[in-house]
Amino acid sequence: MKIKKLFAYLLIVSITIPLLLYVLVNIFAGAGRKMDKPVELGDIKIPTQRTLSFNDNSELKQNILDGWTSKTPQDWKPDEKVNLKNSRIVISCFLEGKRVEEMNKYLMRQKAVGHPGSPWLLYPLGDYDFTAMAFTALLYLFGEKPDILYPKTRQHLLNNILTIEGNKFRRNVGYMFLEDSENHILMTEGSRYLKNQWLRNHGNNAPEYNNKTNGVEKKLKVFLEEIDTYGFYEFNSAPYLGYTYCALLNLYEFASGDIRSLSGKLLDRLNWQYALSSYKFKHFPPNRRRFGKDFKKNIDSDYHTVMLKVWGSLYDESLSVNMSRGQHHALWATFVSYKPADKVIQWVLDKPKPYFVKMGHGFNSCPEILSGDKSYLLSAGGANQGRRSLIVAKPIMLFLDDDASEMKHAFHMFGPGDNFIDWNNTGVYQDFACTKGKVHIPVNKKVLKSSGNWKIFLITEGIYLAIFSKEELGLMVIVRSNSIENILEDILIKNSDEKKLSTYFNHPNGNIIEYDLNSPKDQWVIKSVNKISTNRNFSKWDFFDF
């Protein structure tokens, strides 16, 4: 009897614990994709035409390479993650033909020290895919250059460093039933695909290395197609977008067929998104991951920006750009053949016309909303959809043609309070932005005219910024006029009842904008324009919508 009770008890425990773990992990952890309906691309075609020419070198590119070649790589320790800098030092030295003998000797001393995929309690030595992804690029860049990567070193690289290979394609976190994050899958399985391809192309006919028959190519293609269909799950991710970028660049540069074309398609999508959501390399959009209490305040050097800075510098040698961080990702832009489409480069460097665009990111997410012109860009900050969404909402930003490099140097606003989890900062429309909080004004910006809670600033000749700022209400209004007096008078006449400003604004450009500053965080703050109701359910928006 006791044995039966013990058996029943063990059976209950064996079922309950995994079930409880599954529920808890799905509620509180995991960064794998949660899918609903496909995100349609919308009415803006992603540019693909390429006619522009790029230089082989630039001051920025050379600075990146010189920065890495001046460093010394460290030997790997078996009980810790590999320092990401090591691979960049070796690649850069080989690219520059410097310290070749030293780097070969260094590689011969190293062996894989972990496993691919996200680490966790029972899988502490994860993250080796960060290393494998980088050294996969090194293999393809120099594997057939024996005067740089010595044959003996290349064999050691294949046998002891690039350990992700064969037919065991996986999307789950190690020892777990949860799907791994987007960047880890791309790095791990991209490295597997490319090592298999290298071995196959160099005479190894073992069936486990045949991507076309072992399932790796098919499964990798399906994963890339999912990103194309549902959008990037880790959109604008800080810091993970940089690793996604490098993994896709590896596939574009070194793979072939459908894998290469799909990778190029996704890179084109990423770069067109950046072209519309940035202004002179200032970029501060909402993002999914890394979720925490705070976020970095720099606005000119996220891991998307650093790529475009390199390509921009290679296109226009007169372009003056610097890089305060992100050189470990920007290195990829210095050596790959991929370059953004013509229209992307043109829109990154100079907005050709005024525009308003909404970008939907799908289920359990938040949009990007932009209103811009040659001299400014209003960028919405998004809204968190609960802790499991991993959405990091940002302030509404106004980027200008200045040298601002941090959030505090730019006009911005957010609210209520200081915790981004409480914000709905989607209140952006054409030349207009609103939120439930005051406007933060940079200390060096001069007020040209004021009346009550209104202040007027100059953006450029004929374009002004009107700001209304109180503790529970912030408005930023872009106005075109040849007279600053006319601006203030027009605003005050059309919006004579200040109490209505919490729900309604009559814009000097003719738009009557109604908004709800207490909108649920899954709804666009803008309710109607010129008495026509808006589509507020942004989880159903197309990816690109003018």
DSSP assignment of 434-449, as one string? EESSPEE--TTPPP-E
Q: Do 378 and 397 touch, CB atoms closer than 8 A?
A: yes
The better pLDDT of the pair 41, 21 is held by 41
- Per-residue pLDDT at 96 exceeds 90: yes
Q: Are residues 75 and 190 in the same domain?
A: yes
Those residues whose C-beta lies under 8 Å from the C-beta of residue 229, and which sit 6 or more positions away, are: 38, 39
- Return the CATH number at 281: 1.50.10
Q: Are residues 402 and 311 in the same domain?
A: no
Share the mean pLDDT of the chain: 93
Q: Are residues 493 and 380 in the same domain?
A: yes
- 11 within domain boundaries: yes
Q: Rounded to an integer, what distance in angstroms lies between the CA atom of residue 439 and that of residue 154? A: 57
Q: Are residues 272 and 399 in the same domain?
A: no
- Give the SS3 label for residue 212: coil
pLDDT the model gives residue 6: 58
The pTM of the full predicted model, rounded to 2 decimals, is: 0.93
pLDDT tens-digit map of 47-87? 999 999 999 999 999 999 999 999 999 999 887 777 789 99
Give the other-Cβ count within 10 Å of 277's Cβ.
21
Sign of CA dihedral 127, 128, 129, 133: positive
DSSP 161-209: I----TT----BPTTSSSBPPHHHHHHHHHHHHHHHHHHHHTT---GGG
Angle, helix 85-96 to helix 327-335, in steps of 10 degrees: 30
- How many domains, the chain? 3
Q: Are residues 379 and 311 in the same domain?
A: no
Angle at 80 between CA 77 and CA 82, to 5 degrees: 75
- 36 within domain boundaries: no
- 494 within domain boundaries: yes
The single residue listed with the structure tokens 């398609």 is 265
What's the mean pLDDT in 418-441? 97
Q: Are residues 316 and 263 in the same domain?
A: yes
Task: Write out the two tokens for 269.
Answer: 């999508």
What's the mean pLDDT in 389-417? 96
Q: Are residues 265 and 151 in the same domain?
A: yes
Give the other-Cβ count within 10 Å of 539's Cβ.
18
Q: Rounded to an integer, what distance in angstroms lies between the CA atom of residue 80 and that of residue 86? A: 14
pLDDT tens-digit map of 103-128? 999 999 999 998 998 888 888 888 99
Task: Write out the two tokens for 340.
Answer: 């953004």
- 266 within domain boundaries: yes
pLDDT the model gives residue 27: 43
- 179 within domain boundaries: yes
Domain C-terminal end among 294, 310, 344: 344
Give the other-Cβ count within 10 Å of 431's Cβ.
24
Q: Rounded to an integer, what distance in angstroms lies between the CA atom of residue 506 and that of residue 26? A: 45
Q: Are residues 23 and 62 in the same domain?
A: no
Angle, helix 327-335 to helix 128-142, in steps of 10 degrees: 30
Q: Rounded to an integer, what distance in angstroms lies between the CA atom of residue 522 and that of residue 519? A: 8
Domain that holds residue 218: 41-344
Q: Are residues 186 and 309 in the same domain?
A: yes
- 171 within domain boundaries: yes
Instruction: List the one residue out of 218, 199, 226 whose CA is nearest residue 257.
Output: 218
What's the mean pLDDT in 233-239? 93
The single residue listed with the structure tokens 């159903």 is 540
- 35 within domain boundaries: no
- 546 within domain boundaries: no
3-class SS string, 481-501: CCCHHHHHHHHHHHCCCHHHH
Give the other-Cβ count within 10 Å of 338's Cβ.
17
Q: Are residues 14 and 45 in the same domain?
A: no
pLDDT tens-digit map of 257-285? 999 999 999 999 999 999 999 999 999 99
Q: Are residues 454 and 527 in the same domain?
A: yes
- Per-residue pLDDT at 24 exceeds 90: no
Q: Do 5 and 11 touch, CB atoms closer than 8 A?
A: no
Instruction: List the one residue out of 193, 143, 128 whose CA is nearest residue 165.
Output: 193
- Give the SS3 label for residue 47: coil
Domain C-terminal end among 318, 344, 370: 344
Q: Are residues 127 and 162 in the same domain?
A: yes
Those residues whose C-beta lies under 8 Å from the C-beta of residue 134, and which sit 6 or more positions away, are: 84, 87, 88, 91, 246
